[in-house]
Amino acid sequence: MVEQPKPPSLNPLPAREAVRLAAASSLSLALSLGFCDLIASILRDHPRAFQSLAAVLLPLSMSIPAFVLLFLPIFLLVALLPGRALQVRKGPILMALATSLGTCLVLILYFNLVNPHPTAMQFRLLTLTAFLALALGVLRYFMLRRSWEGPGVPAEITATLLSLPLIMGIGFLFIRAQNFRTAPGSGSRALLWNLIAVATLAAGGLVSIFLSRRIHVERWLGAAAALLIVSGLASILLGGAGPKASPDSGGKSRAVRRILFLSIDTLRADAVSALNPSAPPTPNLDSLAADSVVFTRAYSPAPWTLPTFSTMMTGVTPLVHGVRKFEDRIPQALPTLAERMSQAGYLTAAIGDQLFLHPQHGISRGFQSYELSPRDEYGGSVGSRILGWAFPARFKRALDTTEITDLAVSWLKQHAHDDFFLWLHYFKPHGPYEPLPQYRPKEDPPAGMGYKFSSDNAIRAGSLVITAEQRPWVRELYEGELRYVDDNVGRVLAELKRLGIYDDMLIVFVSDHGEEFWDHDARAHGHTFYDELLRVPLIIKLPGAGLREKRGELVCTGSLFPTLLDFAAIPREDGSISYAPLTPLLGGAGAPYQEVPVLSAVPLYFEDRESIVLGDTKYIVSLVTNREQLYDLKNDPREQRNLATEPSDTLLQARQALEAARQSSDTLRKRYGIREEAAAPLSPETLEQLRSLGYVR
Ligand SMILES: [Zn+2]
């Protein structure tokens, strides 16, 4: 007779013990992965996330229960499965399962593979991740099968379950501290975080080894999870992370108590029917215009968002603030409009969506609440995504047009009785154009086109040509997006009227730049100084029975800074800014308005250029090739005939005007002691967004 081989010397794991092990492993995994989620987010997305304790606890309070819900049923299923053969291997199987699932999720979080429609690359990574996780699980099983000999759960297993979340938590603190050391203005706090991390690591390591034999691991892990979840939820309930603030403005008398600064991105002046009767109707903007002073010749100081708003918010030319690239930041020396308003007791708030208006550019300075998405104080973690899904108004990372309006309306309801300065910014009709079905053009798209247009990168690269037959369609999609924003503006205006504050409000409506539709054989914005990009709508509704008229004077949107300060009766120093207030044109007292040439600068694409508009003349010069252009805007409004080829007095005057504008910018720059600012590096996530919006390739 041949002797049968001996069965493995494993002890069966009692059902009760198995269930406790299942609970402990799912809690340990959920806690560890909660921290992993934050680590992945901080490494991948943004070093500026997680500034406050609430910003750490809130995502954790969402991700930990989500991971427990995911793991616990799987582990319990294995723990409760009957079967003799399984019984003796239950412990190793549970641990192998934990290893597999944990590895898989760590990699998925790190590579940000949580995507309902993965790309080919992401799909390959997912497959690789699954195989790696499976292999590690199998390896773990065979290792444990050999060593799991005594009754019950070995002490090193419980020690691992206890220490894993601790290591991950401390790891997160370290990485956060390291990242903050490189972020501006956070040096001393980083050191504090490091010290806390070292102390916790030392104490925690010893304690978990000591405790592993003496305590019920699952209860301790459960208590830790409950504590994190409860404190996270408490910070929502206590409003620790939400926008708040109530200025002590009671009793003060002001010229204007409430100011709405309404901006719509990428809106060329001739797309608003109040400014161009042949444009498709924008009834809500028109109704505002009917109650306002409408400037028919307003120019932008730059052809793209960041330098333009930097100028509007500081009152100095782009040559003074020097914000000319994606990474640039408004110099600290320049006071912002919101700062001045806030110091004067106004409640300052910003609501909207625009990647370039991220706080990293210093544009949020002075706003007591800054809700300009994409918001990343919570990072792009799974926890923060659940948070955004559960509480969209407070935590959703990027807001669409309707959500912006919802947020603005609820903000206005809450603060209708405060003195406020609210900046409301709509990103649309910025591309990609993809109007909702009810805003689409009535006719069918031409051949080769659909209801979405997002091809500006390819057009700029020269790899795609939009034919003359297709071009009007692109403009129609843009106008569809604009009708959507116009309806949303209508909702905001209706709410102001319903609240009874519309009449006495000062409302400024402006755009940052226009948009080209092959006016000069190109597309989008940022690339030229022609009127389709520089001319923007500028409409100012005065409080009470103020003026209602059209003004044809040449003005720059940079004038909004002193104009708003004047209306708020906030004093400003002489010679501290580049622009004169528009108050004389708005029925205000004082000297008559003096037209000043408008300088525009810092293009986003191609060689560096500058332009100046004086009277009816525009002069554009390349700072690289010195190529000059001169246009007579009155007789050649489409800027087709370059007059700079012949010497003329106008050309000389234009050159001098530009030189004078440079000089005065230089004087201001010296006055503020502005030098090249250290640019903040762009995060990979921001670069990805820039790519998807067609800014970079
Ligand atoms: Zn813009």
pLDDT at 598: 94
Examine the domain organization and report whether 292 and 421 are in the same domain. yes
N-term to C-term CA, the chain: 76
Lowest mean pLDDT among 165-179, 303-317, 499-513, 601-615: 165-179
pLDDT at 47: 52
Examine the domain organization and report whether 220 and 354 are in the same domain. no
Are the C-beta atoms of residues 693 and 431 closer than 8 Å to each other?
yes
Examine the domain organization and report whether 405 and 348 are in the same domain. yes
Q: 453 CA distance to ligand 1 centroid (A)?
A: 17
Cα–Cα distance for residue pair 373/366, rounded to 1 Å: 17
Cα–Cα distance for residue pair 315/563, rounded to 1 Å: 10
pLDDT at 313: 95
Cα–Cα distance for residue pair 284/490, rounded to 1 Å: 5
**Confidence band, pLDDT 50/70/90 cuts, at residue 512:** very high
Using only the alpha carbons of the chain, give its radius of gyration.
31
pLDDT at 241: 39
Q: 695 CA distance to ligand 1 centroid (A)?
A: 11
Q: 354 CA distance to ligand 1 centroid (A)?
A: 8
pLDDT at 378: 74
- At which residue do the structure tokens 């029917």 appear? 273
Q: 304 CA distance to ligand 1 centroid (A)?
A: 5
Using one digit for the tens of pLDDT, what is the confidence trace for 19-76? 888 888 899 999 999 998 888 888 776 556 677 777 788 888 889 999 999 989 988 8
Examine the domain organization and report whether 172 and 266 are in the same domain. no
Q: 364 CA distance to ligand 1 centroid (A)?
A: 16
Examine the domain organization and report whether 68 and 184 are in the same domain. yes
Using one digit for the tens of pLDDT, what is the confidence trace for 122-151? 888 888 999 999 999 999 888 888 877 766
**Confidence band, pLDDT 50/70/90 cuts, at residue 255:** confident
pLDDT at 468: 86
Q: Is residue 10 part of a domain?
A: no
Sign for the CA dihedral angle at 572, 575, 576, 579 comes to: positive
What one-character DSSP code corresponds to residue 280? Answer: P
Examine the domain organization and report whether 329 and 427 are in the same domain. yes
Examine the domain organization and report whether 684 and 654 are in the same domain. yes
Q: 474 CA distance to ligand 1 centroid (A)?
A: 18
Q: Is residue 39 part of a domain?
A: yes
Q: 363 CA distance to ligand 1 centroid (A)?
A: 14
**Confidence band, pLDDT 50/70/90 cuts, at residue 81:** confident
Q: 301 CA distance to ligand 1 centroid (A)?
A: 12
Query: How many structural domains compose the chain?
Result: 2
Q: 565 CA distance to ligand 1 centroid (A)?
A: 24
Are the C-beta atoms of residues 553 and 595 closer than 8 Å to each other?
yes
Q: Is residue 253 part of a domain?
A: no
Beta bridge partners of 349: 369, 422
**Confidence band, pLDDT 50/70/90 cuts, at residue 677:** low
Q: 146 CA distance to ligand 1 centroid (A)?
A: 64
Q: 611 CA distance to ligand 1 centroid (A)?
A: 19
Q: 295 CA distance to ligand 1 centroid (A)?
A: 19
Examine the domain organization and report whether 311 and 226 are in the same domain. no
Q: Cα 195 from chain centroid?
A: 32
Q: 280 CA distance to ligand 1 centroid (A)?
A: 21
Examine the domain organization and report whether 228 and 285 are in the same domain. no
Domain that holds residue 186: 15-237
With CA atoms as reference, report the closest residue to 29 among 71, 59, 86, 62. 71
Mean local confidence (pLDDT), 369-374: 82
Mean pLDDT of the chain: 84
**Confidence band, pLDDT 50/70/90 cuts, at residue 11:** low
Domain boundary among 207, 237, 267: 237
Q: What is the CATH number of the domain that holds 318?
A: 3.40.720.10
Q: 527 CA distance to ligand 1 centroid (A)?
A: 12
Q: Is residue 248 part of a domain?
A: no
Examine the domain organization and report whether 275 and 194 are in the same domain. no
Q: 617 CA distance to ligand 1 centroid (A)?
A: 25
Q: 345 CA distance to ligand 1 centroid (A)?
A: 29
Q: Is residue 8 part of a domain?
A: no
- At which residue do the structure tokens 């903040």 appear? 680
